[in-house]
Every structure is written in C-alpha cells, then in structure tokens.
C-alpha cells in the first residue's frame, strides 16, 4: 500500500507543471506572475530578462549592454520608454514583431554632437523597416517626444514618450496589461542602413 502511494505521488510530480528541472534548459520564455508581491511579472529567455516592479517594466539583456524600461503617465495617456545601450551608434526597440522583425513598430534613434534624432518605423519585411510617415501619409505625426538623451562614456540613452492610444495600421496596441512581443537592437554607428551588432527579443506584459 505504501509503495503504491509513493508511485502515485511520483507520477503526480512528473505531470505537474512545476516538476523540478522541467524548464531548466528550455530556450523559450519562462513566464511567471505573482500577485501580492513586488514583482508582478517575469519573463526570461536566452536573450535576457524582463521584470515588472512598481508598475515599471524593465528588460535587461544577457550581455549587459542593453536595457529598456517602460512605464505610463496615466494622466497624459503616454508610455514613457527609456532605451539604453552600450554604443555610440543607434539604439532601437520594437513592439509586436511576428517573424524576425516583420510587423514591428520600431523606434530607433541616436545622439549626434549632443543632439538626439528619433525615428518611428515599421518593419515591412523580415529584415526591412521603413518610416511610418512614408507608409501612411495620413498617420498621426509628431507622435514621439524626446524627454532626455545623452551619449556618455560609450553609452547612448534616450528617454521618450509615445501616446498610448495611437490609431493606424502601423501602430501597435501598447495599452497597459497587454502581452506583446518586444525586440531591441544596437548599431555600431549612426547609420540606420547598417545592421545591428546586438539584438534580442522576448514576450513581455506591458506594466
């Protein structure tokens, strides 16, 4: 009887999602959510990790040369996004990609001689992105506002706002609480035509 009980408990353990070691070597996102604690959402995969703490989502890549944070200014209905990368070239984030880079709303920028430049693009192909204003002449303009930007000690940091409720074919739904694919990349110099030297992606929950 005791032996039967032991076999039964062992089988339950194997079938349960939390079975020890089950997630260990998987390269897909590991998602967890805990209610009532400070961390409300966590996602981890081979390119980095994302955590929501105090209504702020923070992604850090594994190599330690990129970080993105996203939070909301609820009164003004804005997303506030900070992008920080170890480069004197461009830094970029993308939301909602389907395959490789395709279908992502991309925000890409750099700081040159102390002045920021920020562009709103959309990925029309697996490895191709174009300015939204070129793809849709009626798309809302001046959607991005730079709040802070600097290039210092080999790092480029750009903080900007984007209205939450943007409407149009090339804007993604960035409302709080939504699950969305996120990607980032870093360029070696300020040329937006040149490919990234670092990139990554993860599925996140907007804070």
**Is 40 or 203 the residue whose CB approaches ligand HEM more closely?**
203
Q: Is 117 in the site for ligand HEM (CB under 6 A)?
A: no
Which member of 93, 111, 158, 206 binds ligand HEM (CB under 6 A)? 93
Which member of 62, 148, 178, 195 binds ligand HEM (CB under 6 A)? 195
- Pairing, β 155-163 against β 78-85: antiparallel
Residue pair 124/102 in contact by the 8 Å Cβ criterion: yes
Q: Is 162 in the site for ligand HEM (CB under 6 A)?
A: no
Residue pair 95/175 in contact by the 8 Å Cβ criterion: no
Which member of 78, 108, 149, 166 binds ligand HEM (CB under 6 A)? 108
CA distances from 75 to 58, 79, 148, 163, 199 (A): 21, 11, 20, 11, 33
Q: Return the range that interacts with ligand HEM (CB under 6 A); candidates 72-80, 88-96, 139-147, 160-168.
A: 88-96
Tell me the closest approach of the beta carbon of residue 193 to ligand HEM, in angstroms: 6
Q: Return the range that interacts with ligand HEM (CB under 6 A); candidates 77-85, 136-144, 160-168, 180-188.
A: 180-188
Which member of 1, 4, 14, 127 binds ligand HEM (CB under 6 A)? 127
Q: Is 144 in the site for ligand HEM (CB under 6 A)?
A: no
Tell me the closest approach of the beta carbon of residue 8 to ligand HEM, in angstroms: 43
Q: Is 82 in the site for ligand HEM (CB under 6 A)?
A: no
Residues that bind ligand HEM (CB under 6 A): 92-94, 100-101, 106, 108, 127, 129, 183-185, 192, 195-196, 199, 201
């Amino acid at each position: 009887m005791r032996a039967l009980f032991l076999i039964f408990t062992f089988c339950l353990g194997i079938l349960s999602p939390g079975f020890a070691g089950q997630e260990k070597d998987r390269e897909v996102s590991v998602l967890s959510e805990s209610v009532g604690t400070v961390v409300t959402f966590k996602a981890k995969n081979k390119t980095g990790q994302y955590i929501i703490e105090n209504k702020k989502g923070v992604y850090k890549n594994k190599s330690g040369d990129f970080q993105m944070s996203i939070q909301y200014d609820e009164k003004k209905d804005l997303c506030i996004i900070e992008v920080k990368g170890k480069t004197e070239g461009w830094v970029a984030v993308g939301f909602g990609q389907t395959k490789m880079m395709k279908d992502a709303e991309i925000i890409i920028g750099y700081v040159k001689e102390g002045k920021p430049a920020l562009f709103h693009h959309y990925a029309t192909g697996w490895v191709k992105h174009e300015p939204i204003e070129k793809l849709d002449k009626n798309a809302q303009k001046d959607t991005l506002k730079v709040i802070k930007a600097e290039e210092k000690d080999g790092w480029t940091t750009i903080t900007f706002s984007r209205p939450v409720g943007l409407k149009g074919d090339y804007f993604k739904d960035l409302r709080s609480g939504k699950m969305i694919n996120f990607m980032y990349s870093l360029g070696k110099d300020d040329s937006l035509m040149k490919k990234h030297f670092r990139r990554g992606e993860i599925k996140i929950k907007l804070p």
